[in-house]
Structure 1
Amino acid sequence: MDVDSQAPIVPGADLIRAEDLWFEDCGLIIQAEKTIFRVSRDHLAVHSPVFKDMLSLPTPKESDMMLGCPFVALPDSAEDIMVFLKALLYYDFFEPYPAPVSYAVLSSVLRMSHKYDLPALRKRALIHLSSQFPTKLDDYESLLLQDPPEWYKELVDVDGCGFHSLTVLACSLSIRWILPLAFYRVCEFSSEGQILRSAHTLDDKIYLFTACRTLEGTSTTNILEFLWHAVLCVSPETCSAGVQQLAARRMKEKSRIRPTTRAPYMPLDIWKLDDWNTLQVCAACLASMKAEHRVAKQAHWDSLPEMFGLPEWSELEKMKAEALS
């Protein structure tokens, strides 16, 4: 957190004034941990019903004053309050999607906007979050063609443990529509020990362990089934569909061996767009295989919510629409 190391310590207390969040002409002092912020009580009251109720109490007694201003000590971390206040006061600190944002800032805004009831700020954060966890397969496949935002890369860069943090946060804030795909990423990047040591509930851990077995086994096998079936080729003299399928299947089966850093390729990712170019088959066989693969992939996508004990996609989409309206 940024603090002004040159700012004077409040007499009699081991407190530090927050840089860029100490305004001499404002009349409310907030403390979070060892950091204090001086801001406008009216500005907070306008944006947050929770602060409005908190600050509508009678004039505080002297013991609840600091430097002649009303004083409020909050139980939140100094980092969360710093992010929360900057998001409110500085228009360019937390800009709408697709502006870049760090995961630390995004998660703080989600927590604080939920706790202190700031719907506009919460909606902005939810749009950032939902952009990488769609509820439709077509939208998911479109994401694969784009470079993910920095906050999402951060989740991957910490050996997948970031997805544990995200899913625990989403559960606590009832952001349920992102959970099927977010839990899927937990299974992809996590070891059994990481799941066991995570802050998830016991029920969620059971769902995750069961899903890991299903995803790495039956689900991936079903996705690759189009490479197992014979294709009714209309030009067998020039098309080697069967041989091509067998070779591609062998290649993909080898990729299912678990490395040390992440799970083997998962059902949604094991057959990539470029892989179609490796199949030197006639147009009719290619179309047939693509159709079969698409059906299997859609069936798997449709099964994701139930795999993690969640409502079906249509219900999750209603929750998303309501939250983002």
Structure 2
Amino acid sequence: MSSPPAERQSRTSLSFPTDSSAVTRSATIWHPDGSVVLQARQTQYRVHWSVLSLHSSFFHGMLGLPQPPEQPSVDGCPIIELSDSDSDVENLLRALYDPLFFVQRALPLSVIASHLRLGKKYDFRGVLETNVERLTHENPTTLAGYDALKTGNSYSPTRIVNYHGLLYDTITLAGETNLLTVLPCAYYRALVGSLPVRPYNCTSCPGSGLCLVRHFRWHTARRRHGRDPLSNHQRACNLGRTALLRAQWDSGNTFGWTEDQSEEIGCTDPVACRHKKYAFFRRHVVRGSLAPFCSVSYVDSLNLCAVCTQAVKAKMIAGRQRMWDLLPTFFDLPPWSELRDEL
């Protein structure tokens, strides 16, 4: 069998920890017939080489390596000390040993994060791709996918357990793991505050009242190692909000029809329809409303004549799609056609 790449070998230590007295066995993942012991920090997990090598090319390669005579062991099983957190390792092993694990409708983001980190590091390809699919399902790359997740004008996640601050942790995780296709939709949701939980309302912020600075700082304080996602993600959101606010009113975009004050062909009440279009434009510009992907059915509430209603709906359908096609570029990201996840 081929040896694992040198850069990956360097991440894994095969030496027994100095303070062995503090080491404990996992209460949940310790198989008496296991053939290898993984140690993460001070916790050991007895598992099977066959299970690890079946799912991971990294461990498949290690299986064929000769073991040094002084290799520490437990009950004849070699010990592999990992530099990862015990929670990450346990989350991964639970999934490998439970055939129904991924059948669960929704998983906690903390579990998904563990799978992404270790899936990339040790090449657990199936685990990695399954969890990437969960994130991309909730943060789609198509407008049809985005619309399908909405109930009315609201959205709640279905494949990730919702909690206070999920959206901001998702953005941070996507940035850390280079899941770039997740970011445009997640950034946009951060701007419009579409998740039902809002821990802050900042009176100094325009528009939705959703203070991105305070949100990111609050969630950063809870993250491990003190890594701060504020500068990059908040900058992207600020750029995107300004660009989206302007672009949604441009000709050919979602509300571009408000610029055209000429009567639609066959309009039955030109003066009234023109006035209602202008009133809509003025009201929402003053409010700083950001809604480039609002439902086309909203047009019905404008009470335009039947001819203008149908014409405006057609223009909005095309405009929404055009705005979605441009969405990543508003956040200084490559266009959808060039945006790639680095797995």
Q: Rate the CA distance shift 1:108–1:239 in 2: closer, same or farther, 3 A.
A: farther
The alpha-carbon distance between structure 1 residues 250 and 152, as it changes in their structure 2 partners (threshold 3 A), is: farther
Q: Which residue of 2 aligns with 1:230?
A: 261
The residue type paired with residue 121 of structure 1 is V
CA deviations 1:138-184 (Å, max 9, x no partner) are 22222224753152633xx317422432332342xxx2322322233
What SS class does the counterpart of residue 141 from structure 2 fall into? coil
| Residue aligning to 1:300 | 323
Match of 1:212 among 232, 237, 241: 241
Change (3 A) 1:250 1:205: closer
**CA 1:75–1:290: 2 relative to 1, 3 Å:** same
Give matches, 1:65-104, under 5 Å.
Answer: 65-95=73-103, 99-104=105-110
Q: Does 1:140 align with 2:183?
A: no
1:241 is matched with which residue: 264, 273, 288?
273
Residue correspondence of structure 1 range 153-192 to structure 2 within 5 A: 153-154=162-163, 157-158=164-165, 160-171=167-178, 175-188=179-192, 191-192=212-213
The structure with the greater share of residues assigned to helix is 1
Q: Any idea what SS the aligned residue of 2:45 has?
A: strand
Structure 1 275/136 Cα, relative in aligned 2: closer, same or farther at 3 Å? same
Q: Deviations over 1:260-312 (max 9, x none)?
A: xxxxx53434x334522312222210122122223332232222222334332
- 8 Å CA contact 2:249–2:258 kept in 1: the answer is no
Q: Which string of whole-angstrom CA distances, capped at 9 and with x for unpartnered residues, describes residues 184-230 of structure 1?
A: 33444552355687734966664443223223x31344343323432
Equivalent residues of 2:40, 2:86 under 8 A apart: yes
Unmatched runs of 5 consecutive residues or more in structure 1: 1-10, 257-264
Give yes or no for contact 2:139–2:146 (8 Å, CA) kept in 1.
yes
Cα distance in 1 between the residues matched to 2:86 and 2:56: 19
Percent identity between matched residues is 25
Against the structure 1 CA distance between its residues 112 and 214, is the aligned structure 2 distance closer, same or farther, given a 3 Å change threshold? same
Q: Is the contact made by 1:235 and 1:282 (CA closer than 8 Å) also made in structure 2?
A: yes
Assess if the C-alpha contact under 8 Å between 1:226 and 1:292 holds in 2. yes
Query: In structure 2, do the counterparts of structure 1 residues 92 and 254 end up closer, same or farther at CA, with 3 Å as the change threshold?
Result: farther
Q: Secondary structure at the match of 1:94?
A: helix
Instruction: State the one-letter code of the partner of 2:157.
Output: P
User: In the alignment, which of 48, 52, 56 is matched to residue 48 of structure 1?
Assistant: 56
Which residue of structure 2 aligns with residue 125 of structure 1?
Answer: 131
Alignment match, 1:4: none
Structure 1 counterpart SS, 2:26: strand
Deviation at 1:77, TM superposition (A): 1.0
Q: TM-score, normalised by structure 2?
A: 0.73
Q: How much does 1:236 deviate?
A: 2.9
Equivalent position of 1:3 in the other structure: none
Aligned letter for 2:103? E
Return closer, same or farther for 1:139/1:195 CA change in 2, 3 Å cut-off: same
Gaps of 5+ in 2: 1-18, 194-210, 221-226
SS of 1:314's equivalent in the other structure is coil
The one-letter code of the counterpart of 1:133 is: N
Distance (Å, rounded) in 1 between the aligned partners of 2:246 and 2:184: 18
State whether residues 33 and 76 of structure 1, in contact with CA within 8 Å, keep that contact through their aligned partners in structure 2.
yes
Task: Answer with 39-48 or 228-237: which moved more.
Answer: 228-237
1:130/1:178 contact within 8 Å kept: yes
Amino acid of the residue matched to residue 158 of structure 1? G
